Structure 1
Amino acid sequence: MTSDRRASWLKGVLDLLVLASLTAGENYGYEIAKDLAESGLGQIKGGTLYPVLNRLEEAGLVTAEFRVTERGPGRRYYRLTEQGRQTLAEQSGLWLSFDESVRAVLGRGEASRGGGEKVSR
């Protein structure tokens, strides 16, 4: 039986993806989740996203500011800190290196099955 491992893969890289989603500027949780979903990562529920945002804030990688709105509930806006940018740059490099290694191994597996196609980015 084959299981879909995307949820566990996402869990391992969600902190990095949230940091990356904030490089364009500040944003609030719902929009961060929407951005990640539109990138093909599937729906990320608040019960998963907000603990990540809280952890990143506690680590000093993002700052948060609550703002009252004229309509509807207030929102917490998150913004990358300088430490968050540095961590993102460092961890992105490590992730991309890991990704390359995984692709190399998967590519060998494809070649040995006679697929002949390499795993592409």
Structure 2
Amino acid sequence: MTADVGAQLRKGVVEYCVLGLLARDPMYGWQLADELTSHRMIASIGTLYPVLARLREKGLVTSYEQPSASGPVRRYYRLTAAGETQLAVFRQQWGPFAATVSDLTGGESS
């Protein structure tokens, strides 16, 4: 049961984690996947592309191609203005939300 809870929690926030990473700098898919898998937010790079497709459909990220010195052209992703706004809203709501859940479940608050 614990794994199911963790998977549901990750599924609910992974899009915002992608937005947060892209707020730092544009990144290509492999960079994003590496960062997210190292933090156990996604299982593999194959999990990332549907997330990126949803974010593009929502107008929160855009992509562009850039040549790579070490191989083929890479597709980079960056936030749009709408993505920046959505991330700001999430950041405002996350702290109070997490604190409320912690309070209601008897956990430690941040």
TM-score category (smaller protein): 0.7 to 0.9
Partner of 1:113: none
Query: Is structure 2 residue 98 aligned with structure 1 residue 119?
Result: no
Deviation for aligned residue 1:43: 4.7
The answer for the alignment partner of 1:51 in structure 2 is 50
Task: Report the RMSD for the aligned CA atoms in angstroms.
Answer: 1.9
Question: 1:1-121 counterparts in 2 under 5 A?
Answer: 2-4=1-3, 5-38=5-38, 40-107=39-106, 119-121=108-110
Give aligned-pair identity as a percent. 39
Q: Deviations over 1:68-88 (max 9, x none)?
A: 324323211001111110010
The structure 1 segments of at least 4 consecutive aligned residues displaced by more than 4 Å after TM superposition are none
Deviation at 1:95, TM superposition (A): 2.5
Tell me by how many angstroms 1:105 deviates. 1.3
Q: Which has the larger radius of gyration?
A: 1
Provide the rounded CA distance (Å) in 1 between the counterparts of 2:91 and 2:26. 19
In structure 2, C-alpha distance between the alignment counterparts of 1:99 and 1:21, rounded to whole Å: 20
Q: Residue 46 of structure 1: CA displacement?
A: 2.1
Q: Is the 2:61–2:78 contact (alpha carbons within 8 Å) kept by the matching residues of 1?
A: yes
- Unpaired segments of 5 or more residues in structure 1? 108-117
Q: Distance in 2 between matches of 1:45 and 1:70?
A: 25
SS in structure 2 of the partner of residue 44 of structure 1: coil
Secondary structure class of the residue paired with 1:65: strand
Give the letter aligned to residue 45 of structure 1.
S
Aligned-partner Cα distance in 1 for 2:22–2:6: 22
In 2 relative to 1, CA 42–88 (structure 1 residues): closer, same or farther, beyond 3 Å?
closer
**Where do 5+ consecutive residues of structure 2 fail to align?**
none
Q: 1:87 to 1:43 in 2, by over 3 A?
A: closer
Query: Residues of 2 paired with 1:28 and 1:19: CA distance?
Result: 13
